[in-house]
Amino acid sequence: ETGVTQTPRHLVMGMTNKKSLKCEQHLGHNAMYWYKQSAKKPLELMFVYNFKEQTENNSVPSRFSPECPNSSHLFLHLHTLQPEDSALYLCASSQDATETQYFGPGTRLLVL
Amino acid sequence: DAKTTQPPSMDCAEGRAANLPCNHSTISGNEYVYWYRQIHSQGPQYIIHGLKNNETNEMASLIITEDRKSSTLILPHATLRDTAVYYCIRWETSGSRLTFGEGTQLTVNP
């Protein structure tokens, strides 16, 4: 499925690097989400954007900085990450924040 | 937390129906039952959802008991590509938070 795309698919970064994850949805949705899935753990919601406005921040450390310039694009800016931040980062979108969410393929992040 | 209970693992023979149970005995009247699946290291894939009535789409059928305390996801003719972790989720659509549990690892065997 190509409704929600994420780039890059894999990323290796050092703790002092700055990188960004990109998510794009082609479904005409108005809500977008970032989730984190660490090894052998359930998905954890990080951020919610509805009509470009952040409506939820699930106590995420400030080294993760989201950006939603429009309803089709969502970024996650990363800086000074820790090895324990290594995980699969998933983007999702929905028509609005009350509708079914559709996920992208994820970015596998490794922090060295 | 909105909790559901699923068996940690199940096996199914290729071509047979896979019936995945889910217990949600404390579900409230305005909570839907959603099913997603996640194939190894990929994003979760939406399968189906329902409130009270049984539902069917091109992927699966969802059978919800009359008291809504449990449900069963049915994959009518399982294939090897259906091997995945299946998540049963209670979701009140007034909130945006989907809470994923541990799910059921379904293995379809040839």
Residues of B in contact with A50 (CB under 8 A): 96
| HEC profile of A49-64 | EECCEEEEECCCCCCE
Both tokens assigned to A47: 């951020």
The answer to whether the Cβ–Cβ distance between B43 and A103 falls below 8 Å is yes
**Looking at the predicted structure, is the pLDDT value of residue B97 above 80?**
no
Q: Does B32 touch chain A (CB under 8 A)?
A: no
- The whole-chain average pLDDT of chain B stands at 93
Quote the radius of gyration of chain A (alpha carbons, Å).
Answer: 13
Residues of B in contact with A104 (CB under 8 A): 43
Q: How far apart are the C-alpha atoms of A93 and A29, rounded to whole Å?
A: 6
The answer to whether the Cβ–Cβ distance between B96 and A48 falls below 8 Å is yes
Contact B27, B99 (CB under 8 A): no
Both tokens assigned to A98: 């009350």
Option in A31, A56, A102 nearest B46 (CB): A102
Per-residue pLDDT tens for A66-106?
999 999 999 999 999 999 999 999 999 999 888 899 999 99
Residue A44, pLDDT score: 92
The answer to whether the Cβ–Cβ distance between A55 and B96 falls below 8 Å is yes
Residue A37, pLDDT score: 95
Quote the radius of gyration of chain B (alpha carbons, Å).
Answer: 13
Pairing label, strands B9-13, B104-109: parallel
| DSSP, res A12 | E
Question: Percent of chain B, pLDDT > 70?
Answer: 96
The answer to whether the Cβ–Cβ distance between B41 and A45 falls below 8 Å is no
List, in sequence order, every residue forming a beta bridge with A89; answer none if it has no partner: A36, A107
Residue B96, pLDDT score: 65
Report the 10 Å Cβ neighbour count for A79: 15
Task: Quickly tell me which residue has 């939603």 as its tokens.
Answer: A68
- Rounded mean pLDDT, B41-54: 94
The answer to whether the Cβ–Cβ distance between A98 and B102 falls below 8 Å is no
Report the 10 Å Cβ neighbour count for A111: 19
Residue A1, pLDDT score: 52
Per-residue pLDDT tens for B52-94?
999 999 999 999 999 999 999 999 999 999 999 999 999 887 7
Which amino acid appears at position A97 of this protein? A
DSSP secondary structure letters along A54-107: EEEE-S--TTEEEEEEETTEEEEEEES--GGG-EEEEEEEESSTTS--EE---E
Tell me, rounded to whole angstroms, the distance of Cα A98 from its chain centroid: 19
**Looking at the predicted structure, is the pLDDT value of residue A4 above 90?**
yes
Of A26 and B93, the structure prediction assigns the larger pLDDT to A26
The answer to whether the Cβ–Cβ distance between A98 and B42 falls below 8 Å is no
Residues of A in contact with B59 (CB under 8 A): none
Chain A contact probe: residue of B38, B98, B104 with most A CBs at under 10 A: B98
Q: Does A95 touch chain B (CB under 8 A)?
A: no
Residues of B in contact with A100 (CB under 8 A): 34, 46, 49
| DSSP, res B5 | B
The answer to whether the Cβ–Cβ distance between A4 and B101 falls below 8 Å is no
Per-residue pLDDT tens for A40-60?
888 999 999 999 999 989 899
Q: How far apart are the C-alpha atoms of A29 and A7, rounded to whole Å?
A: 19
Query: Using 50, 70 and 90 to split pLDDT, how confident is the model at B29?
Result: confident
